[in-house]
């Protein structure tokens, strides 16, 4: 085995790359939705956002 | 060796073989992760939580209500993912569950565990920050109860597994109610009780005609451990408790006449089907299948009519006016 082979590490197949890409997009969308949710809820609650009685 | 330790060994072997599944590139798709959330169970959870939220006294901003339902849905899905992580060994042995993402190897055990824990944390914290702390505490307890008490302990240990574990499925309307009021009173406890006593006849009817599957997987469901006839008797007993409970919201004045009539008729059908199950003997399983199918409709009908009658200050009355 030469040095070049050693450095290659894990090489993803096309199917693995596609699966990873779809998972990455889903995570990005979920995080964006969470940001929007917190933004909108802050507007909805107004100053009351800091008042959270049990 | 107990069933629990056998399961732990299998999970450990699977985790060791894959290095918790984190070293190898994953082929899991977004669809596989959605399957981990048990979408069909989640839809029933969201529906009963919506009813709890809609019939609760007081007002809630629609966006806050949506946030509460979203958190409850994600929390239920997270509990489902953790259940699939823990039960991968027995899921692989049952026909009904053998195609789930973890047993077929599309999602690795470590991925399912991380997914479930992450969603559990996000759903509970978000519900606590954006809605209220009581609803978040109830959601956290529900996830804990389903994953630790039911999945990890009762399911493999006792034929009473789904009786006690059924509490996890009964909490959503109470969480919905708490999201609006910030408290818990008799009405949501009654809704809890209806689902709690509905669970045994529902699952034991399924277990009657899937008993070979459960026996092969080593799960001590009542028909496997106590016998077919005993399970049929227990189904009738629990149905006899369930049907008066189903009518109770009308008797106690929480629901109107339409709900009362629906609960009486649907309850009578449940009783007839439970009696037919008692009279049936294997290999016949027609009555068991009918009871399983109708029990879903029964619960849906009760909650749907309650939603129409009482939801948002009486949806039906407003439409009629």
Residue A36: which residues within 8 A CB-CB, separation 6 or more?
Answer: none
DSSP B108-125: -HHHHHHHHHHHHHHHHH
pTM of the complete model: 0.87
Give me the interface pTM, i.e. the ipTM. 0.80
* Nearest beta carbon to residue A16 from set B25, B33, B70: B25
Which SS3 state, helix, strand or coil, does residue B45 take? Answer: helix
In chain B, residues with a C-beta closer than 8 Å to the C-beta of A40 are 63
Judge: B26–A38 Cβ closer than 8 Å, yes or no.
Answer: no
Distance in Å, alpha carbon of A7 to nearest chain B alpha carbon: 17
Spatial CA neighbour of B60 closest among A44, A31, A3, A15 = A44
| CA distances from residue B305 to A42, B43, B115, B222, B252 in whole angstroms, order as listed | 34, 17, 36, 32, 16
| CA distances from residue B156 to B32, B202, B214, B247 in whole angstroms, order as listed | 26, 19, 11, 34
pLDDT in tens, B160-198: 999 998 899 999 999 999 999 999 999 999 999 999 999
User: Which chain A residue has its CA at the smallest distance from B178's CA?
Assistant: A54
Residue B316 has pLDDT above 50, yes or no: yes
DSSP structural state of residue B107: S
Q: How many whole angstroms separate alpha carbon B313 and alpha carbon B191?
A: 18
Q: What is the percentage of chain B residues whose pLDDT exceeds 70?
A: 90
Q: Which residues in A have their CB inside 8 Å of a CB on B?
A: 10, 12-13, 15-16, 19-20, 22-23, 26, 34, 37-38, 40-41, 44-45, 52-54
pLDDT in tens, A18-37: 999 999 999 999 999 999 99
In chain B, residues with a C-beta closer than 8 Å to the C-beta of A19 are 26-29
Distance in Å, alpha carbon of A1 to nearest chain B alpha carbon: 22
User: Which chain A residue has its CA at the smallest distance from B64's CA?
Assistant: A41
Tokens of B317: 């009355």
Residue B109 has pLDDT above 60, yes or no: yes
Average pLDDT of the residues in B274-285: 88
């Amino acid at each position: 085995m030469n040095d070049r082979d050693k450095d290659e590490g894990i090489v993803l197949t096309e199917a693995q790359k596609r699966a990873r890409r779809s998972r990455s997009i889903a995570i990005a969308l979920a995080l964006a939705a969470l940001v929007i949710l917190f933004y909108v809820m802050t507007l909805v609650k107004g100053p009351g956002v800091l008042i959270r009685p049990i | 060796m107990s069933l629990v330790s056998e399961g732990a060994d299998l999970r450990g072997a699977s985790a060791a073989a894959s290095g918790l599944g984190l070293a190898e590139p994953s082929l899991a798709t977004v669809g596989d992760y959605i399957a981990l959330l048990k979408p069909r169970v989640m839809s029933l959870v969201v529906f009963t939580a919506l009813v709890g939220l809609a019939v609760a006294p007081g007002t809630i901003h629609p966006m806050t209500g949506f946030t509460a339902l979203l958190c409850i849905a994600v929390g239920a899905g997270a509990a489902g993912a953790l259940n699939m992580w823990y039960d991968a060994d027995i899921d692989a042995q049952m026909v009904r569950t053998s195609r789930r993402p973890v047993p077929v190897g599309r999602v690795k055990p470590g991925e399912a565990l991380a997914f479930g824990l992450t969603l559990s944390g996000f759903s509970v914290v978000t519900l606590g920050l954006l809605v209220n702390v009581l609803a978040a505490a109830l959601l956290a307890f529900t996830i804990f109860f389903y994953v630790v008490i039911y999945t990890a302990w009762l399911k493999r240990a006792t034929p009473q597994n789904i009786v006690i574990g059924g509490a996890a499925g009964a909490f959503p309307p109470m969480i919905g109610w708490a999201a609006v009021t910030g408290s818990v009173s008799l009405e949501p406890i009654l809704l809890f009780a209806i689902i709690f006593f509905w669970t045994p006849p529902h699952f034991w009817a399924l277990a009657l005609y899937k008993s070979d599957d459960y026996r092969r997987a080593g799960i001590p469901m009542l028909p496997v451990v106590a016998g077919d006839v005993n399970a049929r008797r227990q189904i009738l007993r629990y149905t006899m408790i369930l049907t008066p409970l189903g009518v109770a919201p009308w008797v106690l004045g929480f629901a109107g006449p339409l709900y009362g009539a629906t609960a009486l008729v649907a309850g009578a059908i449940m009783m007839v089907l439970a009696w037919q199950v008692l009279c049936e003997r294997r290999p016949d399983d027609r009555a068991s299948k009918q009871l399983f199918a109708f029990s879903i409709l029964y619960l849906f009908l009760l909650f749907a009519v309650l939603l129409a009658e009482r939801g948002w200050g009486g949806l039906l009355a407003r439409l009629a006016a």
